[in-house]
Structure 1
Amino acid sequence: MKKYSALMLAAVLAACGTPPTDTPTVQEETPVKPSAKRPVFDAAAESVASSGFNGNVNVQEFIKYEVANSRMNAAELKDFFDNAVYKANIITIMYRPGTSRPWYEFRTGNSGEAKFSGGRRFYAQHRAVIDEAARRYGVPPELIVAIIGIETNYGANMGSFRLADSLSTLAFDYPRRAEFFQQELHEFLLLAKEEKRDVFGFKGSYAGAMGMPQFMPSSFRKYAVDFDGDGRRDIWNNVGDVAASVANYMKEHGWKTGGKMVVPVKLTHSPQIQAIIDEKTALTRTVADFKSMGIVPQEAVADSEKAVLYRLETSPGVYEYYLGLNNFYAVWKYNNSRMYATAVRNIANAVGARL
């Protein structure tokens, strides 16, 4: 990184800094919602910054809804909000404008030698369990390593916010994404029950992403794996659980075993080509379609393969062009950034893959 990468959050932003919009993050999932519709967030209500959580109209509506639609009761939810701490600095971060960096700047921290050498060390240290997870899910071990590396620098930067605080703050004092964060708070409260852990013991990024792969709570509940069978899905400390969880996520999002991610192309730039590059990222055209436009793949690729055309600015005003294939798109779903997906590929290849 989702992996708000991803989703709008184009995925949710990793760790604790103030990253630009193209910073690696885990993508948002679309959670399966209960049957009843969540109450509409009242943006005119008093802020939790002054009312406190349990004195807030929106929190009270959340509690009523959860009691009616989930496995929680009013007393435990009131106790939870009595102990959650409002974090004003998170709201400040969320409202800071993001900036999009060109590839030649983005790759320095996300696709450079430090990431490559760190990936080789991490893989060498944990090779047996990563290889085992990779075999089980049909995902290259180097891809697993690359995602862990770009998301949290191989576990070195997983975030220090209590998720109870960050998710509560965002759910009730960030109106633009209130519905999303209320749903993630719901998912978080359930996963704490499922994992039989103290709800205040979870830490992660300011936007609610967790562990080495920076899963949002909804992603954790859907894709996290207890790989060693110890009864816990420990994506913070257990590399086997982490590797299997990343591999499971990728397989569930369409990764095809043995497939390439990217093919470089040659083309003559035109307004038509630029319009295609600027389209929403989606696999709507085949390689044959691109060839008919005069776009020439520089490596062998089947005409029937679906692809997206994109470019990278390698130095000011200088571009390279690529077709991103199915597996590129699968990585893009982890964090909605073409540069992110490219950086993941570069790290994986530096560790030993051929993607």
Structure 2
Amino acid sequence: MRAADDIATRRDLDLEWVRQAIGQARYIPQVARFIQPPPVGTPKNWRVYRSRFIDPVRISAGVKFWQDNRDTLARAEAETGVPAEIIVGIIGVETIYGQQMGTFRVIDALTTLAFDFPASHPRAAARSEFFKAELEQYLSLTHRTSIDPLALRGSFAGAMGMPQFMPSSWIKYAIDFDGDGKVDLFSSPADVIGSVASYFKAFNWQPGMPTHYPVGFDATRLDMNALLAPDILPTFSVASFGAKGAVLEGAALQHSGPLALVELQNGDEPPSYVAGTENFYAITRYNWSSYYALAVIELGKAVSAEMNR
């Protein structure tokens, strides 16, 4: 119980309350299995990944969510500059608008990963510390809001609610957007919408900036290694991007900020590429994956297109 005592002391929480909460947590073998990375050599495939999220069920649910929350989405966009498309895309990819918010007790998931993180994982030590910090944040959050820490359910990693916020993200970025005096990411669409927008505003969303542009290549001067070296971090000006063989057209040529060459593998087929902006990078702060970011963008666009048919 040393960990419980440390958390209680650091967070000024009731010692017996913390001990009881952690003492009633259970190790979940399934959680430990799910947290493992895919086997080395498993090919990534953007088209397969995309098909998991851009589908009729999610698009239809997205249309209903947008119609039901049109005014709130418009208010969030007006106040933060984060487009309704992006907010709708996030919530759809994460939980199909609340249909799949996770079935694991959050306390079980977090304690499993904090104290029994699989030693075979390549980043076991760092990840274990991350989940210890999230457990501490979770206990602080539930104690402060008088929520039963054994009651909430979420993902195998302890993410919660419609937007799947980790406890630290809930504390830092979640807001009361419906004005009822509390933050509810499980059953208040307004709080969810406002909190997703708040998250992106905190990660420097640039209002009015596209997320990405089409990109081609000039084989005579292509330096693919240099273009891919920064990964998804926007690094190149339009001029330096072009000097290394990336070809932009139209509005992209007038882009004033940095760009990144984003590569999306397609299994045995040739990769897909886009020129990512700072807003594309902002989406990857929600989930550190270019595949995830583009799925969010394309789901939001698909829902918007269906809305306007």
Shorter-chain TM-score: what band?
0.7 to 0.9
1:90 equivalent to 2:40? Answer no
* Matched residue, 1:202: 152
In the aligned structure 2, how far is the partner of 1:172 from the partner of 1:315? 36
CA distance 1:197–1:67, shift in 2 (3 Å) = closer
- Can you list the C-alpha shifts for 1:176-203, whole angstroms capped at 9, x where unaligned? 1221111000000011022221111211
Secondary structure of the residue that 2:251 maps to in structure 1?
Answer: coil
Please provide the CA RMSD for this pair: 2.1
1:298 equivalent to 2:249? Answer yes
Letter in 2 for 1:149: G
Letter in 1 for 2:200: M
What is the identity percentage for the equivalent residue pairs of Structure 1 and Structure 2?
A: 36
Q: Which runs of 5+ in 2 are unaligned?
A: none
Task: Select the structure that is richer in helix.
Answer: 2
- Can you list the C-alpha shifts for 1:127-169, whole angstroms capped at 9, x where unaligned? 1222222222221111111100011111111001111111111
**Structure 2-normalised TM-score?**
0.88
Q: Which runs of 5+ in 1 are unaligned?
A: 1-53, 55-59
1:275 deviation in Å?
4.8
Q: 1:283 aligns with which of 213, 223, 234?
A: 234
State how many pairs are aligned. 294
- Can you list the C-alpha shifts for 1:11-64, whole angstroms capped at 9, x where unaligned? xxxxxxxxxxxxxxxxxxxxxxxxxxxxxxxxxxxxxxxxxxx4xxxxx2x234
- For residues 103-118 of structure 1, the aligned pairs below 5 Å read 103-118=46-61
Secondary structure of the residue that 2:69 maps to in structure 1?
Answer: helix
* Runs (4+) off by over 6 Å: none
1:345 equivalent to 2:297? Answer yes
In the aligned structure 2, how far is the partner of 1:205 from the partner of 1:146? 19
**Structure 1-normalised TM-score?**
0.77
In the aligned structure 1, how far is the partner of 2:214 from the partner of 2:222? 20
2:82 and 2:200 in contact (8 A); partners too: yes
- Can you list the C-alpha shifts for 1:291-321, whole angstroms capped at 9, x where unaligned? 1223221331335321110233468423332
In the aligned structure 1, how far is the partner of 2:272 from the partner of 2:115? 43
Q: 2:276 aligns with which of 304, 324, 330?
A: 324
Letter in 1 for 2:163: P
Q: 1:181 aligns with which of 131, 156, 159?
A: 131
Letter in 2 for 1:290: F
In the aligned structure 2, how far is the partner of 1:124 from the partner of 1:245? 19
* Matched residue, 2:108: 165
1:246 equivalent to 2:177? Answer no
1:263 and 1:299 in contact (8 A); partners too: no
